[in-house]
Amino acid sequence: MANEKILAVVGATGAQGSGLVRAVLSDRRGGYAVRALTRNPGSEKAKELARLGAEVVAADVDDVESLKKAFRGAYGAFCVTFFWEHFSPEQEIAQATAMAHAAKDAGLRHVIWSTLEDTRNWVPLEDKRMPTLMGKYKVPHLDAKGEADRVFTDLGLPVTFLLTSFYWENLIHFGMGPKRGPDGKLAITFPMGDKKLPGIASEDIGKCAYGIFRKGSEFIGKTVGIAGEHLTGAQMAAALTKALGQEVRYNDVPPEVYRNLGFPGAEDLGNMFQFKRDFEQVFCGARDIGFSRSLNPSMQNFEAWLSRNRSRIPLEEEVKKASGE
Ligand SMILES: NC(=O)c1ccc[n+]([C@@H]2O[C@H](COP(=O)([O-])OP(=O)(O)OC[C@H]3O[C@@H](n4cnc5c(N)ncnc54)[C@H](OP(=O)(O)O)[C@@H]3O)[C@@H](O)[C@H]2O)c1
């Protein structure tokens, strides 16, 4: 409708953005319309968003002109970058810069930047407790986002900095689900000691973002952290045991062991978990559960997420015993 405020959503077919697109579309009388940005409007996911009622437009975060066009006429934008597509903190900063300039060009009235902590504010490069990676980062995919905050501020944008949390979907898509050890038992492996990891159902990030837009100017110029629940590895394992109907253990490993697991990004993630472990109060303190629920009353905790998603968690088949059974 003519006087609806348009929210332009970067990453609209992805985990964070699609939650926002769906939140807007399911609130028909909320006064907002949604514009879904995608590199490929012809993809199945993009066509589904169009069928649900989104305006779907082509844009690429590596192409500032496409962003300017896509943001034009909008009230607000949700901005997110895609570190794991390229593993480059510099590219992530360049993409955030392109979105910020496009937001400025379009005169947006509210921008949400999906960011994370620049861990170098707590662990400077000379700190030896974790290795420096790529020459000037401790946790490249966190530090780059945090470093990019300044771009939005320097341009004088009406921005809300949204601190997200570990997606529980990582247990499904990111290879972090339960694995069988040599004893045949399932275990989740994190270098978190007995500290709590703030987690979230990824779709709830978009729902919180919608809550922030709906609050008008209340969170402009503010940093807002969100999580569905803060859980230790042992608590996650206990919830998984209950949901899956078979024992899942928590395998606590030192961060240096995790950094050396050999998969792409292992060092980055090892440092990330170590930061979350060593600065539990800072990291959890920035992500209050009650506050998160005030933005998104349907926020799921881990048990609720598991009840909907347990069948999607890939479990390795029982290792065949050496006897050939
Ligand atoms: N996994 C976690 O636990 C976690 C937690 C907190 C934060 N994060 C951060 O979340 C970010 C990723 O967000 P996400 O999980 O929502 O992403 P995602 O699910 O991987 O989806 C990304 C979507 O963005 C689009 N995209 C990719 N490259 C693009 C480009 N160059 N220009 C425009 N669109 C592009 C793709 O859509 P099209 O193909 O349709 O263009 C894709 O569907 C990462 O930076 C990560 O560090 C992750």
Q: What is the mean predicted confidence (pLDDT) over 282-303?
A: 98
Binding site membership of 81 for ligand 1 (Cβ less than 6 Å):
yes
**Any residues with CB less than 8 A from the CB of 247 and at least 6 apart, and which?**
185, 186, 241
Binding site membership of 287 for ligand 1 (Cβ less than 6 Å):
no
Backbone angles phi, psi at 292, to 5 degrees: -60, -40
Measured in angstroms, how far is the CA atom of residue 17 from the centroid of ligand 1? 8
pLDDT at 319: 45
Measured in angstroms, how far is the CA atom of residue 183 from the centroid of ligand 1? 36
Binding site membership of 83 for ligand 1 (Cβ less than 6 Å):
yes
Write the pLDDT tens digit of every residue in 74-99: 999 999 999 999 999 999 999 999 99
Binding site membership of 11 for ligand 1 (Cβ less than 6 Å):
yes
Measured in angstroms, how far is the CA atom of residue 83 from the centroid of ligand 1? 7
Binding site membership of 88 for ligand 1 (Cβ less than 6 Å):
no
Backbone angles phi, psi at 319, to 5 degrees: -65, 130
Q: Which residues of 76-101 are buried (b: 16+ CB within 10 A; e: fewer)?
A: bbbbbbebeeeeebebbbbbbbbbbb
58 CB-side CA count, 13 A: 6
Nearest CA to ligand 1 atom 32: 60
Instruction: Identify which of 66, 88, 83 has the alpha carbon closest to the alpha carbon of residue 16.
Output: 83
**Is 47 in a helix, a strand, or coil?**
helix
pLDDT at 317: 58
Q: What is the mean predicted confidence (pLDDT) over 244-262?
A: 97
Please give the single-letter amino acid code of residue 93: I
Write the pLDDT tens digit of every residue in 50-62: 999 999 999 999 9
Average pLDDT, the chain: 96
pLDDT at 321: 41
Going by pLDDT thresholds of 50, 70 and 90, the confidence category of residue 1 is: low
pLDDT at 316: 72
pLDDT at 192: 98
User: Is the pLDDT score of 322 beyond 80?
Assistant: no
